[in-house]
Amino acid sequence: MDEKTALQLKRKRQVKSIVLFSKAKILKRSNIKVVELKPLKIPESVSRRVEELGGMEAIMSTIMGEEEILTLSRVFNAMADPIRVKLMLLLKASPLCVCLLKQALSLSDSKLSYHLSTLKSANLISAQREGKFLICNLTPLGEKALAMLERLKVP
């Protein structure tokens, strides 16, 4: 197949995508979408640096794996709310029962449950039952995440 021949066919929502190289424009005919790409034009300084580093493949090989990126994304998403950061800071001092967390932050049961669930699903906290009480504490990942936040603390 030459450059003008389809490199990839995908079926997505009854639309076939055909990727071709040359001009950068999109042609639509009935249910077939033809995408033609032209070579990238990038600044000379960027091109030189990419070459010095061994090309884009070499640069891509230095980034984290998909699983690590997903884990970090979940952690940052979980820590994107001030209430959840406060919960983690409280749990840094000591494992606490849910009733104390609720009182300390003046949260409703449902709101506290939501935030604890978010932190737990990101593996930042864990919880154990002691009789009728639920005791929450930071996980090792939660401790690392808080340490990172403290290093970023704005004066």
The pLDDT tens digits along the chain (155 residues) read 444 444 333 333 333 333 343 333 444 444 555 555 567 788 889 889 989 999 888 888 888 888 888 888 999 999 999 999 999 999 999 999 999 999 999 999 999 999 999 999 999 999 999 999 999 999 999 999 999 988 988 77
- Asked if residue 106 and residue 50 are part of one domain, the reply reads no
DSSP 14-68: TEEEEEEESS-EEEEETTEEEEEE------HHHHHHHHHTT-HHHHHHTSPPHHH
- Asked if residue 78 and residue 41 are part of one domain, the reply reads no
Length of the chain (residues): 155
- Asked if residue 86 and residue 48 are part of one domain, the reply reads no
- Asked if residue 144 and residue 95 are part of one domain, the reply reads yes
- Asked if residue 100 and residue 34 are part of one domain, the reply reads no
In-domain check, residue 1 = no
Domain enclosing residue 22, as ranges: 9-61
The whole-angstrom separation of Cα 31 and Cα 42 is: 33
In-domain check, residue 3 = no
Alpha helix stretches (DSSP H) within 66-139: 66-78, 82-93, 98-105, 109-121
Predicted TM-score of the model (pTM): 0.65
**Structure-block tokens of residue 87:** 């919960």
Q: Are 122 and 85 in contact (CB under 8 A)?
A: no
